[in-house]
Amino acid sequence: MDSESPWAQNAQQFQQIFGDKISQVLQSLQQMGAGGAGAPGAAAAPLQIPAEKLQQVQQQYLEEAKALWNQSLQASTLAASDKRFSGDGWQSNPVAAFSAATYLLNARTLMELAESVQADEKTRNRVRFGVEQWLAAMAPSNYLAFNAEAQKKAIETKGESIAKGLKNLVNDLRQGHVSMTDESLFEVGRNVATTEGAVVFENDIFQLIEYKPLTGKVYERPFLLVPPCINKFYILDLQPENSLVRYAVAQGHRTFVVSWRNPDAEMAQKTWDDYVEDGVIEAISVVQQVTGAEQVNALGFCVGGTLLSNALAVLAARGREPVASATFLTSLLDFTDTGILDVFIDETSVKFREMQMGKGGLLKGQELASTFSFLRPNDLVWNYVVGNYLKGETPPPFDLLYWNSDSTNLPGPFYAWYLRNMYLENNLIQPGKLTVCGEKIDLGLIDIPVYIYGSREDHIVPINGAYASTQVLPGEKRFVMGASGHIAGVINPPAKNKRSHWTREDGELPDTLEAWLEGAQEHKGSWWTDWSNWLQAHAGKQIAAPKTYGKGVKFKAIEPAPGRYVKQKA
């Protein structure tokens, strides 16, 4: 095209329009960033972008927009770098490809503006998060009128894809969430959560599952897993080939798992103390009684690790040490670095939750699930909107995504207390600050061997947050970092020989993760074998495996695993 394009001819006018748009954007960003780290009720300071940076962004946008106009026939190449626009429908339609390339240019510019905002870190994170959400929602791929790929499929199927998409939409509206997998193909106890066992104890908060030994002998110290209560336990027992539960049993551990009840109106008054005392501490006691062991080995995953740490601190305050070693998988004890979740936490939001449900009520599981999904909106929300509704596709079967959609409620008092004392005020690492189950707790009293695992790309428990546990627990410690995220990093069986993990054999645990990494070594494959070797060293001698579940009349088998609690829907 001629160099004297409309962009060059009208640069001054365009710059004025751009400046006006920037003012509008800043006003929108101001709303996104409102309620930052300032005092409750205080007026937020106006968001500003340095004049020099604003001019730079403006000039860059002008140049890139001009280049895009001049290269409009090559727009398909520009858009193909984003998987949302890489299909044949986009590449064969110049108009659609140009709209996608324009969207990507605008998205880059808005993100650069968000990064340039002068504000405190919390406000900057909120602005960034808000812009990301808006940009994800406004992608042309999300709308049938602009999605060339969906239009192409509608023509090829003579409208059948649209009809199927409407059917999928009605189905998802009925079930209350976007389908991420074909949920009709899964059933808990039939093809997920299938490791053989029995429920040997239950109360109104949890069931305790004992698993059938796979070896002739077991270690004398039993092994108790405490999963998060914000999800169902069978993430640790999806399929036989990727089940951490089955792996532990196969290694010769007499294995027990806490299966939390999915809270309903009867549990609307339950507190953090209830989950610690009648949940974790009770589970430890029952395992001791069933096995006759003086001590058990315990593992806490995510919030289960936070609950386990509280239980251990309460027991230590009472002069008891029934746990010989503890494993913390992607768990937060020090809540200084909570990653992207910090954008939801401030005094105002926590007070609202306390007023809403602090004295009773339920946090619905779907609300919690939606929050976590929108932490990765393109992958966990809009990807399925496009596939399910615009293209009329049925998502492929995937056990992990079925589990992800099987949400759980939380008791309001439990949730409100957790938000304030962990996420907002970070009270757990302050000795004597918290009273839990009637005891002033101090993590410094948990003087037992611990294994701490963090995932490098975890967006829920940032790797720095996981590493911080090494600085607050006093006993013998081993830290291991795995590749991938919150779930995929943890559920990584050795047989797959996937990903990597990092260890530091000199035992040093410096103040920061960065310093730890300087002396760490990478190992190909799963961290499970490293953990198994560590746990074996704390498991005691081997004894004959039990022939029956439970013990006597008091702890007899109630029903086969996985039990009925895990099958309750939110």
Residue 181 clears pLDDT 90, i.e. is over it: yes
Residue 493 clears pLDDT 50, i.e. is over it: yes
Label residue 385 by pLDDT band (50, 70, 90): very high
Task: For each of the domains in the chain, give its residue range(s) and CATH number, in order of start.
Answer: 6-35+45-156 (no CATH), 197-364+409-567 (3.40.50.1820)
β-strands 255-260, 223-226 pairing: parallel
Q: What is the DSSP string of 391-451?
A: S-PPPPP-HHHHHHHS---EEHHHHHHHIIIIIIT--TTSTTT-EETTEE--GGG--S-EE
Residues of the chain above pLDDT 90, percent: 75
What residues are labeled active site? 302
What pLDDT, in 10s, does the model give residues 190-210?
Answer: 999 999 999 999 999 999 999
pLDDT given for residue 14 in this prediction: 47
Q: What span, in angstroms and rounded, lies between the C-alpha atoms of 233 and 230? A: 9
What pLDDT, in 10s, does the model give residues 244-296?
Answer: 999 999 999 999 999 999 999 999 999 999 999 999 999 999 999 999 999 99
pLDDT given for residue 3 in this prediction: 45
pLDDT given for residue 46 in this prediction: 67
Q: How far apart, in Å, are the Cα atoms of 305 and each of 61, 224, 425, 450, 453?
A: 47, 12, 18, 11, 11
What is the average per-residue pLDDT within 348-374? 93
Backbone Cα Rg of the chain:
27
489, 456 contact by CB (below 8 A): yes
Helix (H) or strand (E) holding 481: strand 477-482
Q: What span, in angstroms and rounded, lies between the C-alpha atoms of 516 and 470? A: 11
What pLDDT, in 10s, does the model give residues 515-547?
Answer: 999 999 999 999 999 999 999 999 999 999 999
* Secondary structure tally for the chain: helices H, strands E: 22, 17
pLDDT given for residue 40 in this prediction: 42
**Which one has a higher pLDDT value, 69 or 154?**
154
Q: What span, in angstroms and rounded, lies between the C-alpha atoms of 265 and 274? A: 16
Among 166, 60, 541, 213, residue whose Cα is nearest residue 390? 166
User: What does pLDDT average to over the chain?
Assistant: 91
What is the average per-residue pLDDT within 87-98? 87
What is the average per-residue pLDDT within 488-508? 95
Tokens of 195: 């490791």
Highest mean pLDDT among 18-27, 167-176, 411-420: 411-420
Residue 22 clears pLDDT 80, i.e. is over it: no
Label residue 217 by pLDDT band (50, 70, 90): very high
Q: What is the DSSP string of 305-333?
A: HHHHHHHHHHHHHTT---EEEEEEES--S
Among 68, 26, 69, 14, residue whose Cα is nearest residue 51? 26
pLDDT given for residue 34 in this prediction: 52
Residue 78 clears pLDDT 90, i.e. is over it: no
